[in-house]
């Protein structure tokens, strides 16, 4: 090994502009972050493959269950069938029902022992009441905790309902009344073209929660790797002896974490939307109805996610700076996680017409706006207040992280 | 080139209160000189170098590096120095080339300058074979060469080496020693901290003996020998810090240094590699 003859540089070198240093640090951090397998899994593979994959598995499982329920033959009991042979006959002819005659005293025990799935208890004067044109009270005994029992009870109800329709038709005919005499209203539902749907409702309930948690969890590894990881591996000291100022270092790292938060949430949106876009059969259980996600809604979601990502990046970077290593950072995360998760869970139960006070609550305000955006019910004042509040919290988090990064006691092992 | 004036560093500890790690240290060193800081672990060598490299802020006193003040011109100081220590590691997910390019950019070199410097340094340090391998795939020796390349990419006139051979095998350590010697030959100012006496004897033009945060003595090896009347450097060292072994007095001509294996009051022990380790009186009593 021979050393090159050199002229000295030192202070005679051209000084890179601050933007150039920031950009250099940002690019390097971003490149390194996405070479970390943990980040690739949590930011890319998780939302784009695992989330739709879980939905697909759920779809297949639910589909199979529905099919199996249709084909299942339930053994049900009838108490006092001799009192209403016509009802017993109607139930007996119902496909998927196997009838057993039992006494009222045995009924509950038989259900409990799983010998019968459900029992229809007919009154002793049932036939008389039918013939007299009166209402017959029928009690269905079921085990509310058993899916099979509820399925059997449902099938008895459907059968009795069909038989009841036949009876009404016959009674109307016997009394020379028109067939629609007992049907004063024919009610139909028609979803408006730009309105919501079941799918949209599910989306507006779940997407805020998923987006917020994705933005946060996606950036955890990246943020913890940035400072705590560097301290642990001994690379932070290498960086601190470079001419980059601590402010530039923290801002460059911070920018990279914000970027990961945003990418993570974007990919979470795409992953969650995949079932609705692809219209695959396995996603039918989730996608009954149309999704109308307007460009304005996407714009509003992005607008809300920006300060939220800055807030998360600031918090995570502060934890990462304070911790001596990544393991310690993970311990602190245990305390931080509920603060993030609880407001996003709350958004699932709070309506999109929340009061202005909610606009000041970080994370929850963003969840509500995402919900509003998905339902197309924008409240510009709420959005402005929430954006301003989130931006203020984000700035505080960033300042806190920067202040912490200046403290040599947390940065350097003495 | 380096002027250190009454540099002091205190650390606050919740249990022990204020700890003075460096206590009014002053020294100066010139271009083309290797200045050694020799002392046991915990003597204050690393803290001193970290203050000179502006990683830590001095509690009082100051230093000028290449004409720049470490307190008020920290960025200029960092531009003027190369810093290599056992704790300046590499980014494992970057390749050797990316690592050196990154630091070249931070030092403000242009892309073409970085490319030509990398070509030059990688050839000289025989790094082309692993230039595009990720740092986590490199051997210890290869990693050390990447660290050297990172340290000199911006042609710094001042170089700090903080126990750079710690934990390295003899071949890799020799590479570092040769590199430090070349830096001196090129006219750079080199400050070299170690607790390994043989390295000091081999490399340093002048030596500062650092003990308990203070400089116990400064001079050339010959000057220090003359001052203490001892030949073996271990004995010179122990006499200068006032920890001389009774056996030293019994065998004043012993030049083997073996007798330093038992410290006088138990504060210092020579390690197998010829280094010195501070041990507490309690530890010593248990031996």
Domain ranges of chain B: 2-211, 220-286
Chain B positions in Cβ-Cβ contact with residue A409 (cut-off 8 Å):
11-12
Confirm or reject contact between A135 and chain B (CB < 8 A): no
**Residue that wins the pLDDT comparison between A268 and A156:** A156
Position B269 scores a pLDDT of: 43
- Find out whether B155 and B121 touch, Cβ atoms under 8 Å: no
B-proximal residues of A, 177-206, CB under 8 Å: none
CATH architecture of B2-211: 3-Layer(aba) Sandwich (3.40)
CB contact under 8 Å between A32 and B157, yes or no, is: no
With a cut of 50, list the residues of chain B below it in pLDDT.
252-287
Residues in chain B: 287
Position B94 scores a pLDDT of: 96
Q: Is the ipTM here above 0.90? A: no
Burial zone of A110 (CB within 10 Å; 0-12 exposed, 13-18 middle, 19+ buried): buried
Confirm or reject contact between A407 and chain B (CB < 8 A): no
Q: Which residues contact A388 (CB under 8 A, 6 or more apart)?
A: none
Position B253 scores a pLDDT of: 47
- Find out whether A293 and A374 touch, Cβ atoms under 8 Å: yes
Cα–Cα distance for residue pair B33/A335, rounded to 1 Å: 53
Q: Element (H or E) spanning A142, and its range?
A: strand A139-142
CB contact under 8 Å between A3 and B108, yes or no, is: no
* CA A303 from centroid of its chain's CA atoms: 20
Q: What are phi and psi of B38, to 5 degrees?
A: -115, 130
- The residue written with tokens 């202070």 in the block is A11
Cα–Cα distance for residue pair B194/B41, rounded to 1 Å: 9
Position A24 scores a pLDDT of: 94
Burial zone of A15 (CB within 10 Å; 0-12 exposed, 13-18 middle, 19+ buried): middle
Of A234, A227, A228, give the one whose Cα is nearest residue B163: A234
> Mind telling me how many Å the CA of A361 is from chain B's nearest CA?
37
Position A319 scores a pLDDT of: 92
CB contact under 8 Å between B75 and A245, yes or no, is: yes
- Find out whether B80 and A11 touch, Cβ atoms under 8 Å: yes
* CA B218 from centroid of its chain's CA atoms: 16
CB contact under 8 Å between B109 and A412, yes or no, is: no
- Counting residues of chain A whose pLDDT is more than 70, the rounded percentage is 90
Chain B positions in Cβ-Cβ contact with residue A231 (cut-off 8 Å):
none
Position A127 scores a pLDDT of: 84
Cα–Cα distance for residue pair A385/A362, rounded to 1 Å: 11
Position B265 scores a pLDDT of: 36
**Residue that wins the pLDDT comparison between B204 and A204:** B204
Position B270 scores a pLDDT of: 44
- Tens-digit pLDDT profile for residues A98-139: 888 888 888 889 899 888 999 999 888 888 888 888 888 899
DSSP string spanning chain B? Answer: -EEEEEEEEEEEETTTEEEEEEEEEEEEE-TTEEEEEE--TTSSHHHHHHHHTTSS--SEEEEEETTEETTT-HHHHHHHEEEEETT----TTSBHHHHHHHHHHHTT--HHHHHHHHHHHHHHTT-GGGTTSBGGGS-HHHHHHHHHHHHHTT--SEEEEESTTTT--HHHHHHHHHHHHHHHHTT-EEEEEESBHHHHHHH-SEEEEEETTEEEEEE-HHHHHHHHT--SHHHHHHHHTT---HHHHHSTT--S-GGGGS-SSSSEEE-TTSBEEE--HHHHHH-
DSSP string spanning A337-374? Answer: HHHHHHHHHHTTTS-TT--GGGGGSTTHHHHHHHHHHH
Residue B124, token pair as written in the block: 């000289």
Helix axis angle, A246-278 to A295-322, nearest 10°: 140
Judge whether residue A3 has pLDDT over 60.
Answer: no
Position B247 scores a pLDDT of: 57
Average confidence (pLDDT) over A183-208: 73
DSSP secondary-structure letter at A119?
E
DSSP string spanning A36-103? Answer: -HHHIIIIIIIIIIIHHHHHHHHHHHHHHHHHHHHHPPEEEEEESGGG-HHHHHHHHTSTTEEEEEE-
The 10 Å Cβ neighbour count of residue A12 is: 11
Position A39 scores a pLDDT of: 87
Of A226, A243, A197, A175, give the one whose Cα is nearest residue A15: A243
Question: Which of A311-320, A348-357, B60-69, B113-122 is the least confident region?
Answer: A348-357
The full set of domains in chain A, from first to last, is: 69-174 (3.40.1710.10), 197-411 (no CATH)
Cα–Cα distance for residue pair A310/A25, rounded to 1 Å: 17
- Tens-digit pLDDT profile for residues B86-128: 766 899 999 999 999 999 999 999 999 999 999 999 998 889 9
- Tens-digit pLDDT profile for residues A28-64: 999 999 998 888 888 888 888 887 888 788 778 877 8
Position B245 scores a pLDDT of: 61
Position B264 scores a pLDDT of: 34
Position A79 scores a pLDDT of: 87
Cα–Cα distance for residue pair A247/A225, rounded to 1 Å: 18
pTM value surpassing 0.80:
no
Judge whether residue A4 has pLDDT over 50.
Answer: no
The 10 Å Cβ neighbour count of residue A355 is: 9
Please name the residue of chain B whose CA is at the shortest distance from the CA of residue A37: B93
pLDDT band at A296 (very low <50, low <70, confident <90, very high): confident
Q: Element (H or E) spanning A285, and its range?
A: none
Position B175 scores a pLDDT of: 82
- Tens-digit pLDDT profile for residues A268-284: 888 877 877 777 777 77
> Mind telling me how many Å the CA of B38 is from chain A's nearest CA?
19
Cα–Cα distance for residue pair A318/A406, rounded to 1 Å: 11
């Amino acid at each position: 090994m021979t050393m090159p003859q050199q002229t000295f540089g030192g202070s005679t070198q051209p000084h890179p502009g601050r933007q150039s240093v920031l950009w250099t640090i940002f690019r390097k951090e971003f490149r390194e972050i996405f070479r970390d397998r943990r980040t690739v899994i949590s930011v890319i593979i998780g939302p784009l493959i695992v989330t739709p994959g879980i939905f697909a598995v759920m779809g297949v499982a639910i589909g199979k269950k529905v099919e199996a329920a249709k084909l299942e033959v339930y053994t049900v009991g009838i108490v006092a069938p001799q009192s209403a042979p016509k009802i017993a006959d109607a139930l007996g002819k119902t496909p998927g029902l196997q009838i057993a005659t039992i006494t009222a005293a045995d009924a509950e025990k038989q259900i409990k022992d799983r010998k019968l799935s459900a029992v229809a208890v007919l009154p002793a004067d049932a036939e008389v009441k039918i013939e007299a044109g009166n209402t017959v009270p029928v009690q269905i005994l079921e085990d509310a905790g058993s899916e099979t029992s509820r399925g059997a009870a449902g099938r008895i109800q459907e059968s009795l309902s069909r038989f009841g329709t036949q009876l009404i038709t016959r009674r109307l005919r016997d009394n020379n009344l028109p067939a629609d005499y007992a049907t004063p209203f024919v009610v139909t539902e028609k979803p408006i073209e730009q309105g919501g749907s079941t799918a949209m409702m599910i989306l507006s309930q779940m997407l805020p929660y998923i987006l917020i948690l994705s933005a946060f969890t996606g950036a955890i590894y990246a943020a913890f790797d940035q400072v705590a990881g560097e301290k642990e591996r001994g690379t932070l000291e290498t960086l601190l002896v470079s001419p980059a100022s601590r402010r530039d270092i923290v801002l460059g790292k911070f920018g990279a974490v914000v970027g990961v938060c945003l990418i993570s949430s974007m990919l979470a949106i795409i992953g969650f939307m995949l079932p609705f876009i692809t219209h695959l059969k396995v996603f039918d259980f989730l996608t009954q109805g149309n999704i109308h996600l307007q460009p304005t809604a996407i714009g509003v979601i992005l607008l809300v996610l920006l300060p939220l990502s800055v807030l998360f990046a600031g918090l995570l970077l502060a934890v990462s700076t304070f911790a001596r290593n990544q393991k310690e950072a993970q311990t602190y995360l245990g305390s931080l996680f509920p603060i993030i998760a609880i407001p996003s869970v709350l958004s699932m139960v709070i309506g999109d017409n929340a009061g202005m006070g909610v606009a000041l609550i970080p994370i929850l305000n963003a969840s509500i706006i995402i919900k509003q955006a998905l339902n197309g019910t924008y409240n510009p004042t709420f959005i402005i207040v929430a954006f301003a509040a989130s931006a203020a919290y984000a700035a505080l988090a960033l300042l806190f992280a920067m202040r912490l990064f200046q403290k040599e006691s947390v940065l350097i092992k003495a | 080139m380096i002027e250190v004036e009454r540099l002091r560093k205190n650390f606050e500890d919740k249990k022990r209160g204020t700890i003075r790690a460096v206590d009014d240290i002053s020294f100066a060193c010139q271009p083309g000189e290797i200045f050694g800081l020799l002392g046991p672990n915990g003597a204050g060598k690393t803290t001193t170098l970290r203050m000179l490299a502006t990683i830590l802020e001095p509690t009082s006193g100051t230093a000028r590096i290449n004409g720049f003040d470490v307190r008020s011109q920290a960025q200029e100081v960092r531009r003027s120095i190369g810093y290599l220590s056992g704790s300046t590691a590499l980014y494992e997910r970057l390749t050797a080339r990316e690592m050196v390019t990154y630091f070249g950019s931070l030092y403000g070199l242009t892309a073409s300058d970085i490319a030509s410097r990398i070509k030059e340094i990688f050839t000289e340090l025989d790094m082309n074979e692993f230039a595009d391998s990720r740092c986590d795939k490199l051997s210890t020796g290869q990693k050390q060469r990447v660290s050297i390349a990172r340290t000199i990419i911006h042609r710094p006139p001042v170089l700090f080496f903080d126990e750079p051979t710690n934990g390295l095998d003899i071949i890799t350590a020799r590479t570092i020693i040769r590199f430090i010697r070349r830096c001196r030959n090129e006219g750079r100012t080199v400050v070299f901290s170690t607790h390994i006496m043989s390295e000091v004897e081999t490399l340093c033009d002048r030596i500062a003996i650092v003990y308990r945060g203070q400089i116990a003595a400064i001079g050339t090896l010959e000057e220090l020998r003359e001052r203490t009347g001892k030949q073996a450097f271990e004995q010179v060292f122990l006499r200068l810090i006032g920890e001389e072994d009774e056996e030293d007095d019994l065998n004043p001509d012993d030049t083997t240094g073996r007798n330093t294996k038992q410290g006088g009051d138990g504060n210092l022990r020579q390690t197998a590699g010829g280094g010195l380790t501070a041990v507490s009186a309690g530890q010593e009593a248990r031996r």
